[in-house]
């Protein structure tokens, strides 16, 4: 049984709530923008030279998907911040911040350093951290956890894709 914290503030209510939502959105979208800046240098040069599996999506898919996921992540974190007192929310939000940093770390490993094997290790850690975040969020707010389900699904797919690219480029004799 999950432990639900009582709601601190019903509805959007205050300017503080709205400001917090904007700050969470800025944090998540800012992390995404940093990742995109690291990615941009390799997408047009190095990435096209890699062997990729048949299920690799077109490059144009990634930006809109990640933008939507970062918005969902921001709303999830904001809901946890809003619903629980600081002592209850601090741990789950710290794990959330850690997974956000590891998310950025994946872009640095894969596109910045061009270390596909390292990126596999990073994305496996990310998978576990996002799952932990969702489970911790669920104790406070079921909807916050549900908002992370698309993110979990996408990074599970990204993990399979990352492993396939690694295998194709380092273990197939190419």
- Gyration radius of the chain's alpha carbons: 18
User: Can you tell me which residue has the tokens 């996002």?
Assistant: 130
Q: At what angle do helices 59-83 and 15-43 cross, to 10 degrees?
A: 150
pLDDT single digits (tens) 67-113:
999 999 999 999 999 999 999 999 999 999 999 999 999 999 999 99
Q: Is 60 exceeded by the pLDDT of residue 6? A: no
**Domains of the chain from N-terminus onward:** 15-170 (1.20.1260.100)
DSSP 8-state code for residue 112: I
174 token code pair: 């190419």
pLDDT digits (tens, 9 = 90+) for 134-174: 999 999 999 999 999 999 999 999 999 999 999 999 987 64
Please name which of 122, 52, 50, 132 lies closest in space to residue 91, comparing C-alpha atoms.
132
By the 10 Å C-beta count (0-12 exposed, 13-18 middle, 19+ buried), 54 is classed as exposed
């Amino acid at each position: 049984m999950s432990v639900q914290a009582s709601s601190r503030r019903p509805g959007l209510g205050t300017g503080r709530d709205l400001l917090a939502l904007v700050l969470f959105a800025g944090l998540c979208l800012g992390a995404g923008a940093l990742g995109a800046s690291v990615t941009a240098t390799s997408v047009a040069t190095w990435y096209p030279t890699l062997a990729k599996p048949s299920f690799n999506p077109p490059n144009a898919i990634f930006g809109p998907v990640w933008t939507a996921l970062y918005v969902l992540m921001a709303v999830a974190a904001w809901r946890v911040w809003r619903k629980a007192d600081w002592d209850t929310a601090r741990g789950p939000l710290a794990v959330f911040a850690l997974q956000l940093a590891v998310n950025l770390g994946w872009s640095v490993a894969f596109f910045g350093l061009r270390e596909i094997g390292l990126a596999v290790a990073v994305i496996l850690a990310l998978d576990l951290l996002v799952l932990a975040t969702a489970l911790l969020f669920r104790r406070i707010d079921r909807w916050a956890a549900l908002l992370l389900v698309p993110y979990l699904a996408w990074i599970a797919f990204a993990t399979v894709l990352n492993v396939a690219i690694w295998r194709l480029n380092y273990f197939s004799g190419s």
